[in-house]
Structures are given as structure tokens and as C-alpha cells.
């Protein structure tokens, strides 16, 4: 089998929408008896969603016989193709289809569309999620068309990251807070009210930045609260179409150089919302009756994809979720959640950053495709004193 590596002119391989992606494909052909018709190279960028329908098997008794009734909800899937370019870099010049042994180097140059959303990979967990759910992925695909054999395929992914400048987002630097008042006890045995409030100094952050979370508690109940759980949560909304896709094509408009996307949509759209815990901090407390507490907890934002609503079938949002609870057999809890934004560029433009692998690492990119080379998206992590 041939081996293939893709070397990009830009290191690390992180690109902005509208950038040219250039480099060389280096292919090693093992021996003189290697047969191939052609070598095709593609640059593909797409968003994809998929989840299986729920299957239930029920038993029905009729006239003494047991009949199995199968209910199968249709699968849902969606696809947006943001770019797809193809070129033939080598072609056999004879009927024997001999490809010379040794190393072959094929240069390439592709341009990303200006509307490309950020790279996103779903962490695949087969124990809890039936299906892939989705991704936004950009990659170079090299395929060797081999006669009478399975084609050799190689897929190398890149990170595409539009600039999400917090200084251009309204309210990103404005403080945010949320509170809840909850009454405990049965109808005739009220134990009083507890008030909990969560505050953050602003609504927009970048990776590497600390969120200083303030928690205010006013306990007017007879209960003693013992624990606070503070979570950073990613919430992803997937859109799928029953037994169909949503597709797009890019092309130049007539009369000018602008590009546009046209969509052919299918009916029966359905959304699926998934949450995954990024990190959790546990605070041991003791807030008794008539106690008031002001608590603070810093939360560091790890390497994560930015908040986005620019993809038509995948939305990414972030929340701080807090839960304050009592201990014992009859537990009570108070819950709150507060949204915030993750951008790619802070207000202070002189801050340095390094690109780091997604907090989920390489686990996300497999998604049942053995041709994808090891990959984790890279996101800017800024340095703060």
C-alpha cells in the first residue's frame, strides 16, 4: 500500500475563511508493480449531522398468539457543503496503469469560502449517543484509483477559524447576572425561601481567560446547604431532516465577483440538543438558616470551539450551571444557569496566544471513518497575567 503525507505551507494548519490553503502532497509508492489509473485530490468543507431513530419492540397478544410490533422512528440527517474542489494530479498514460515507484510530490492550492463556519468536532461516546450527531470539518482528501483493488484513501484535516472579535459583539463586556427565589416545604409546612444569585463581570471570554463567578446566597429556610456544584457546559443544537439532506452549492454571481450559497431544503426538520460537561468545580459550604454568603470561584476557559450560530445545522453555545444542595436522605437543591460567549479575539489586541488542541483531544474525529488521519482542532489560547 502507498503512503501519503500532506505538508501545508502554513504551520500550524489553522486558516481563516477566504484564505488560500497551499502545500504539497508527498506520496511514496512501494514497488514497481504498483497499479493505478489516477490520483485525485479534493478540498472539502462540510457540516454534517446524523442520528438514528428510536426503535421499540412491543409484544401484542391477539387470539392467543404473540405478535411483535416494531416502531421505528426515521433517521435524521443533514449536510451543508461549504466547499468542494477537485483536481487530478496524476493520470496513467498507458493501459498497464503502472505508477512509478518512489516518491511523488504534488503541489496544491485551494481557497476557502468567505462564509466558512469554525471547525467543530463532536465527542463520540458510543455508550450514550446512538450515532455520530455531527461535525463541521475541512480536509484534504487524496485518493488513488486502483484497478481491481480497493482505492487507497488519505484524509488530512485542517482547522478553519473565523475571527469572532469580542470588541465587535454588543454586550460582550457588560456584566451579567441571574437569580432565583425558591420556597421549600409542603403546602402547609413551608420552611421558608432561599435566594441564590450568580454574577459574572462580563459576557464575552476567550480561551485561556478566567471567568470570576460570584455566587450570592440568602438562606431563609430551615435547611442547611452543604455543597455547590459549578459547571461549564457546552450545549450543541443539531438540525436533521427525516430521510433527507439539506445541501448547498457555491458559485460566482453573474456580473460580479461575489459568491453566494443556494440551498435545497427538505421538510420534516427536527432538532436535537445535546449538552456535555467541560469541567466542574465542587465547593463545600455550610449555609445555615438566616445565613448570607458571598462566594467567588474562578473558572478557566480551556481550548474550545467558539460560540457560533453561523452554521445552518449546528449551533454551539456555552453556559455556567450552578446547583446548590443539602445533604441527607431528603435532599433539596436550587439550580441556575447563565449563558456566556466564547470568542476568538479579545478586546485587548496586544495579547499573545498559542494554538492548542481542543480539550477533547483526538477522540472526536474518528466518527467511523478509518481514512481520517489523527486530528484535533486547534483553538487560540490567550495568555493572561
What mean pLDDT comes out for the span 33-40?
A: 90
Distance, CA of 327 to CA of 324 (rounded, Å): 10
Average pLDDT over residues 340-369: 85
Using the predicted structure, report yes or no on whether residue 56 has a pLDDT greater than 60.
no
Please tell me which residue, 233 or 31, carries the higher pLDDT value. 233
pLDDT for the residue numbered 320: 97
**Which grid cell is 252?**
460566482
Q: Does any domain span residue 45? A: no
Answer whether residue 65 is part of any domain: no
Contact 58, 69 (CB under 8 A): yes
Residue 257 pLDDT = 44
Closest CA to 158 of 131, 136, 187: 136
Range 81-85 average pLDDT = 93
Q: What pLDDT was estimated at residue 262?
A: 45
Q: How many domains does the chain have?
A: 1
45 or 33, which is more confident: 45
The answer as to whether 309 is a domain residue is: yes
Model confidence pLDDT, tens digit, residues 232-247: 999 999 998 876 555 5
Residues 336, 322 contacting (CB under 8 angstroms): yes
pLDDT computed for residue 219 by the predictor: 93
- The percent of residues above 90 in pLDDT, for the chain, comes to 60
Q: Is the pLDDT of residue 57 over 60?
A: no
pLDDT, residue 73, reads: 66
Q: Has residue 71 got a pLDDT over 60? A: no
CB 137 within 8 A of CB 48: yes
Range among 27-31, 293-297, 360-364 with highest mean pLDDT value: 293-297
Q: Residue 1's pLDDT band (boundaries 50, 70, 90)?
A: confident
Task: Look at residue 31 and tell me if it is in a domain.
Answer: no
Which span out of 126-130, 147-151, 173-177, 186-190 was modeled with the highest average pLDDT?
173-177
Closest residue by Cα to residue 316 from 203, 237, 378, 380: 237
Q: Tell me if 313 sits within 8 A of 120, measured CB to CB.
A: no
pLDDT in the model for residue 11 = 94
Is 82 within 8 Å of 117 (Cβ atoms)? yes
pLDDT surpasses 90 at 24: yes
Question: pLDDT at position 148, please?
Answer: 84
- pLDDT value, residue 200: 98
The answer as to whether 209 is a domain residue is yes
Higher pLDDT: 178 or 265? It is 178
Q: Is residue 101 within 8 Å of 32, Cβ to Cβ? A: yes
Spatial neighbors of 141 by CB under 8 A, at least 6 apart, are 41, 42, 43, 44, 153, 154, 155, 371
pLDDT digits (tens, 9 = 90+) for 85-124: 999 999 988 778 888 899 999 999 999 999 899 999 876 5
Give CA 311 to chain center in angstroms. Answer: 11
What pLDDT does residue 252 have?
46
Structural domain boundaries, residue 226 = 166-240+268-346
Whether 352 has a pLDDT exceeding 90, the answer reads: yes
Residue 209 has pLDDT above 90, yes or no: yes
Q: What is the mean pLDDT of the chain?
A: 85
Whether 379 is covered by a domain: the verdict is no
pLDDT at residue 370 in the model: 61
- Enter the pTM of the model: 0.86
pLDDT at 84: 93
371 inside domain: no
- pLDDT for 33: 84
Euclidean distance between CA atoms 323 and 311, whole angstroms: 31
Alpha-carbon separation of residue 23 from 7, 13, 378 (angstroms): 6, 10, 19
Asked whether residue 179 is assigned to any structural domain, the reply reads: yes
Is 215's pLDDT higher than 80?
yes
CATH code for position 279? 2.60.40.640
Question: Does residue 277 have a pLDDT over 80?
Answer: yes
In 3D, which of 84, 83, 81 has the Cα closest to residue 48?
Answer: 81
Q: What's residue 364's pLDDT?
A: 59
Amino acid at each position: 500500500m502507498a503512503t501519503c503525507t500532506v505538508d501545508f505551507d502554513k504551520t500550524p494548519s489553522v486558516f481563516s475563511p477566504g484564505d488560500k490553503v497551499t502545500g504539497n502532497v508527498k506520496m511514496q509508492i512501494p514497488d514497481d508493480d504498483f497499479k493505478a489509473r489516477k490520483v485525485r485530490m479534493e478540498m472539502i468543507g462540510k457540516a454534517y449531522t446524523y442520528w438514528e431513530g428510536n426503535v421499540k419492540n412491543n409484544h401484542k397478544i391477539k387470539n392467543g398468539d404473540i405478535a411483535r410490533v416494531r416502531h421505528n422512528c426515521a433517521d435524521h440527517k443533514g449536510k451543508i457543503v461549504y466547499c468542494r474542489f477537485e483536481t487530478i494530479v496524476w493520470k496513467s498514460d498507458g493501459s498497464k496503469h503502472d505508477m512509478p515507484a518512489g516518491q511523488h510530490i504534488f503541489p496544491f492550492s485551494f481557497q476557502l469560502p468567505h462564509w466558512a463556519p469554525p471547525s467543530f468536532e463532536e465527542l463520540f461516546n458510543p455508550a450514550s449517543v446512538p450515532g455520530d450527531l455531527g461535525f463541521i470539518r475541512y480536509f484534504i482528501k487524496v485518493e488513488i484509483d486502483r484497478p481491481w483493488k480497493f482505492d487507497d484513501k488519505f484524509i488530512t484535516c485542517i482547522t478553519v477559524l473565523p475571527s469572532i472579535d469580542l470588541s465587535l459583539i454588543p454586550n460582550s463586556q457588560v456584566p451579567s447576572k441571574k437569580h432565583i427565589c425558591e420556597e421549600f416545604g409542603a403546602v402547609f409546612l413551608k420552611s421558608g425561601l432561599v435566594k441564590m444569585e450568580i454574577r459574572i463581570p462580563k459576557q464575552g471570554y476567550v480561551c485561556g481567560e478566567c471567568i470570576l463567578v460570584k455566587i450570592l446566597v440568602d438562606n431563609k429556610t430551615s435547611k442547611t446547604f452543604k455543597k455547590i456544584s459549578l459547571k461549564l457546559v457546552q450545549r450543541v443544537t443539531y438540525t436533521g431532516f427525516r430521510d433527507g439532506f439539506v445541501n448547498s452549492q457555491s458559485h460566482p454571481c453573474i456580473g460580479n465577483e461575489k459568491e453566494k450559497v443556494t440551498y435545497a431544503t427538505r421538510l420534516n426538520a427536527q432538532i436535537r440538543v445535546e449538552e456535555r460537561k467541560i469541567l466542574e468545580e465542587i465547593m463545600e459550604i455550610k449555609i445555615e438558616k438566616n445565613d448570607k454568603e458571598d462566594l467567588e470561584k474562578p473558572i478557566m476557559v480551556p481550548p474550545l470551539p467558539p460560540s457560533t450560530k453561523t452554521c445552518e445545522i449546528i449551533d454551539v453555545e456555552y453556559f455556567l450551571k450552578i446547583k446548590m444542595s443539602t445533604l441527607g436522605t431528603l435532599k433539596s437543591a436550587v439550580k441556575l444557569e447563565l449563558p456566556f460567549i466564547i470568542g476568538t479575539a479579545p478586546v485587548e489586541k496586544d495579547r499573545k496566544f498559542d494554538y492548542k488542541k481542543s480539550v477533547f483531544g483526538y477522540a472526536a474525529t474518528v466518527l467511523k471513518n478509518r481514512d481520517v488521519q489523527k486530528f484535533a482542532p486547534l483553538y487560540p489560547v490567550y495568555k493572561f497575567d
